[in-house]
Structure 1
Amino acid sequence: MRTRTRLLAPLLLSTACATAPAPTPTQGEAMAVTATRVSPPERPFGTLREQAQRQQAWLNERMEKALPQLMRQYGIEMWVVPMREYNEDPVFTALSAPTTYAARRRTIYVFHDRGPEKGVERLALGGGSQGGVFTPRRAQRQVDGGGVSREAELWGPEQWLVLKQVLEERNPKVIGINVSRTFAFADGLTHGEYEGMAEALGPDWVKRFKPSGGLPVDLIAWRGPDEVRFYEDLTKLVWNIIEQAFSNNVITPGVTRTSDVEWWMRQRLADLGLDTWFHPSVDLQRQGVTEAQLGEDPVIQRGDVLHCDYGITALRLNTDTQHMGYVLREGETDVPEGIKAALKVSNRLQDIVFEELRPGRTGNEVLRVSRERMKAEGIDGTIYSHPIGLHGHGAGAMVGLWDRQEGVPGNGDHKVMPNMWYSIELQATSPVSEWNGQRVRSAQEEDITIDAEGKVHWAWKRQTAFHVVR
């Protein structure tokens, strides 16, 4: 590092003073010059260490508050979650510390509900304690044939024998395992792991296995109050980037292509040290031109209606946002009223879903009632909202799919719960008088949070006016 600093400093000096060559600076001078020339990194959510401390607090809260309640709700006395390195169960990120990126060799998490007074015991058979969340338990292995034993890293068949010891000591009547034909989030137990566990434990224990049902789904979906506070800041950043993307800072009408805007949005995240869970998309609608005529990567022109779909990943949490923009024509000072009206219609559909998204209802019930109200108000729209959080298309009750407006069997039959988040995603299509009645699709997506009392809140706010490129 010192060598690199000394090499960089003369370059910086020669750039600043293009006359005589600068003398070789001392180490202290080089560091001072570098500090004045290099901008500090942008860290919208603090250092990585600060982020990890916050995430660890979220994990502790999830284990202490959500886990016991959900295990009792689903009738799971003991929950066993085995997985192998790089083939982790979907629930892994809801159970692991921010400094853990993968399971260790084979990791078996065991949760034993000992009742309201003693609480849920948490064991890790393999892997670490995840910041004190689990009590690690190791296998005993003979060393050098001398009769001396010590704890060994769990890996092979002996790991299942440690699990068998845990079961024999606690004698649970019901053992929950993550197998499901309905929920991907509850189907993390691989076939190979099941076979190895069943063979080692024997038929008497296998008889006590029970699908864990909604337990992993709802544990992944559960969010605490500080996560909500963070999510508001994350959503503000989403808005900030979209506002820049749909402005003259990024778009030059007649020059900029939709892909240019997409890559700018993607690069902006990389520059901030953040990531996304999908590549951004930008598309447009134009008066008198069909989608096919526009082609795959059109140049943005004046008079175009813009649309983007954008998500940010930070501290393992995800956003999902769709906004609308407009490029002013020469002589225009505002968005045409007919196009504004199209946005108002999709805003109204947002209102309806927002009002109907209530804990205790299934996703299919929310969809059915919302669509009935939509049709009664004469809105031509589609509703395809989804949970969000540790995954972009998150765990929980699905409220429609764009091609399944009659409801989604299985996933849509799950119930909305307090302390979870949704992306209200939908579209409304309206005729625009300024475009000779041509129909304009206003597709919007905005994230919401549901608090412990079941009240719905916008994560920050929702779009009610177009982003404008002048």
Structure 2
Amino acid sequence: MQRILGLFLSLCTISTPAMAEEYAQGRQISALPDVLSFRERVQPINDMVTDRLDNLLPELMREADLDMWLVINREYGEDKLFYTLVPQPTFAARRTTLLVFSKQADGSVERFSVSRYPIGELYPTVWEGGTKAQQWQRLAEVIAERDPKRIGINVSEDWALADGLSVGLHKQLLKVLPGKYQERLVSAEKLVIRWLETRSQKELNVYPQAVTLARRVIAEAFSNKVITPGVTTTKDVEWYLRERFEELQLRPWFQPYVNIQRQGDKTSKDDVFIGEYNRTILPGDIIHTDVGICYLNQCTDTQEMGYVLKLHETDVPAGLKQAMATGNRWQDILTSNFKSGLTGNEILANTIKQSKAAGIVSSTYTHPLGFVGHAPGPTIGMWDNQGPTPIQGDWKLHPNTVYAIEGNIKTQLPEWDNQWIQIKLEQDAVFDGKQVWYLAGRQTQWHVIR
């Protein structure tokens, strides 16, 4: 227990403003931080969940103008949102689990479960048990007792994570509610998106740890510890990344991948992506990876670049260093356009205009991060659409939200007879309402394999 408290308190001493000066430039991750065991993670996760429910949810329910919020689940068919609301360890809902959040006159939020079982200390149950019909009738009773004017339910045509209420459960809800309360049901879409996109200060204190872990494992993989030129394949590195994360008890949210750009490959400025898979890594290759993990309920998404020195080389070619600098310049243009109240589409348009003016051939496809890797919030471009994205791209930027600063630049490499190459970068950062801070630095130098 002492180790858990020590590690958690040390994480909580990191504040976003304090990171600013250190993280303004690139950072190489030279050591692997301690990783809490599954057992040790329970306390800090539950502290963060409780803090969000006590302090963030009331604010967001006011913002969404909801008097009550229902999150209705069945065992093994849970609303994805369920896992962001309950304490650990929780593996599934029990039978039918009805969570109720009711706004009080003083602005606080009463929370409870209309279920056979309480959920830890966070959700006392207000039902003593009985038949399934009696459970649903009890839900109708507690709603009538509180007489909410606007009742949010998780249905949405446009946002997947705000559409967690199944058709069957929706029908059951309508069946037990009197007509006047049926008329008060509204989509909780705005609340759900704001709940999922917003990070608390406690979460921002630990988020750098998750990103640092991802970046350090990439540094291991893109080294001679793992890669022997002429022997190691891209698949070997992919599986090293996957198995190393599993060894550290870090959950990947997608299979890592690795690709190669090689002198002599047929490439062009018009290629959407440059790089081939399923290759043996050779001297002179440019290598790229994309990995994503989740730790302490915070998910990461990271892409970095490496270079394999040729026999006569002692350093990365100057053209590649310049290409990386161009990629960093594109990042700076993008993040300088993060302003509260701007939409994702507006940020994208500004970034494209300014990148073109700077002579940078770029593509921007940046997305929110949080409880999941592709979180709801403002979409800032898509790899296959550099124009406006309806709905998701129209969402406005809010403070205390985290993003994968993702995209690429293309340039011609002098050392490769002006062959087109691509620098694909993705680093995780928080927008604090005024500025963007990288959570564990960003790549400004190449990983070098000898």
Per the normalisation by structure 1, the TM-score is 0.85
Report the equivalent of 1:311.
292
Distance (whole Å) between structure 2 residues aligned to residue 436 and residue 325 of structure 1: 20
Report the equivalent of 2:9.
none
1:88 CA drift (Å): 1.3
> Partner amino acid for 1:107?
T
2:302 to 317, 321, 325: 321
Report the equivalent of 2:137.
161
Distance (whole Å) between structure 1 residues aligned to residue 40 and residue 407 of structure 2: 36
Within 5 Å, give how 1:66-465 maps onto structure 2: 66-115=56-105, 117=106, 119-126=108-115, 128-138=117-127, 151-152=128-129, 156-290=132-266, 296-451=277-432, 453-465=433-445
Report the equivalent of 2:3.
none
8 A contact 1:419–1:454 mirrored in 2: no
Distance (whole Å) between structure 2 residues aligned to residue 290 and residue 245 of structure 1: 27
Q: Which runs of 5+ in 2 are unaligned?
A: 1-31, 268-272
Across the two proteins, how many residue pairs are aligned to each other? Answer: 414
1:217 aligns to what SS in structure 2?
helix
1:429 aligns to what SS in structure 2?
strand
8 A contact 1:359–1:416 mirrored in 2: yes
> Partner amino acid for 1:196?
Q
Classify 1:118/1:182 alpha carbon distance in 2 versus 1 (closer, same or farther; 3 Å): closer
1:325 aligns to what SS in structure 2?
strand
Classify 1:227/1:167 alpha carbon distance in 2 versus 1 (closer, same or farther; 3 Å): same
Distance (whole Å) between structure 1 residues aligned to residue 167 and residue 73 of structure 2: 11
Report the equivalent of 1:37.
none
2:132 aligns to what SS in structure 1?
coil
Q: Which deviates more from structure 2 when the two are superposed, residues 229-238 or residues 123-132?
A: 123-132
> Partner amino acid for 2:126?
R
Distance (whole Å) between structure 2 residues aligned to residue 466 and residue 164 of structure 1: 60
2:145 aligns to what SS in structure 1?
helix
Distance (whole Å) between structure 2 residues aligned to residue 54 and residue 128 of structure 1: 24
Distance (whole Å) between structure 1 residues aligned to residue 247 and residue 159 of structure 2: 36
Distance (whole Å) between structure 2 residues aligned to residue 270 and residue 277 of structure 1: 11
Distance (whole Å) between structure 2 residues aligned to residue 103 and residue 296 of structure 1: 40
> Partner amino acid for 1:83?
N
Structure whose alpha-carbon radius of gyration is higher: 1
2:143 aligns to what SS in structure 1?
helix
8 A contact 2:261–2:276 mirrored in 1: no
Report the equivalent of 1:21.
none
1:45 to 25, 35, 44: 35
8 A contact 1:349–1:374 mirrored in 2: yes
- Cα deviation code 1:294-345 (max 9, x no counterpart): 8641100100001000112222221110000000001101111111111111
Distance (whole Å) between structure 1 residues aligned to residue 188 and residue 255 of structure 2: 33
- Cα deviation code 1:163-222 (max 9, x no counterpart): 110111111111111111111111111111111110111322111111112101111222
1:448 aligns to what SS in structure 2?
strand
Q: Which deviates more from structure 2 when the two are superposed, residues 389-398 or residues 251-260?
A: 389-398
Distance (whole Å) between structure 1 residues aligned to residue 249 and residue 163 of structure 2: 32
Distance (whole Å) between structure 2 residues aligned to residue 294 and residue 202 of structure 1: 59
> Partner amino acid for 1:109?
L
> Partner amino acid for 1:246?
F
Task: Indicate the structure whose relative CO is greater, using CA pairs within 8 Å and at least 6 residues apart.
Answer: 2
Q: Which deviates more from structure 2 when the two are superposed, residues 310-319 or residues 273-282?
A: 310-319
8 A contact 2:308–2:449 mirrored in 1: yes
Distance (whole Å) between structure 2 residues aligned to residue 275 and residue 79 of structure 1: 30
> Partner amino acid for 1:152?
G
Report the equivalent of 1:38.
none
Per the normalisation by structure 2, the TM-score is 0.88
- Cα deviation code 1:110-166 (max 9, x no counterpart): 111113x2511112112654442223111xxxxxxxxxxxx216x622222111101
Distance (whole Å) between structure 1 residues aligned to residue 437 and residue 102 of structure 2: 35
1:454 CA drift (Å): 4.3
Paired-residue identity, %? 39
> Partner amino acid for 2:81?
V
Distance (whole Å) between structure 1 residues aligned to residue 277 and residue 210 of structure 2: 30
Distance (whole Å) between structure 2 residues aligned to residue 226 and residue 404 of structure 1: 35
> Partner amino acid for 2:357?
A
**Where do 4+ consecutive residues of structure 1 move more than 3 Å?**
127-131, 290-296
2:251 aligns to what SS in structure 1?
coil
8 A contact 1:108–1:124 mirrored in 2: yes
> Partner amino acid for 2:373?
G
Report the equivalent of 1:469.
449
Q: Which runs of 5+ in 1 are unaligned?
A: 1-41, 139-150
> Partner amino acid for 1:416?
L
1:44 CA drift (Å): 2.6
1:112 aligns to what SS in structure 2?
strand
Distance (whole Å) between structure 2 residues aligned to residue 70 and residue 135 of structure 1: 22
1:260 aligns to what SS in structure 2?
helix
1:64 CA drift (Å): 1.4
> Partner amino acid for 1:321?
T
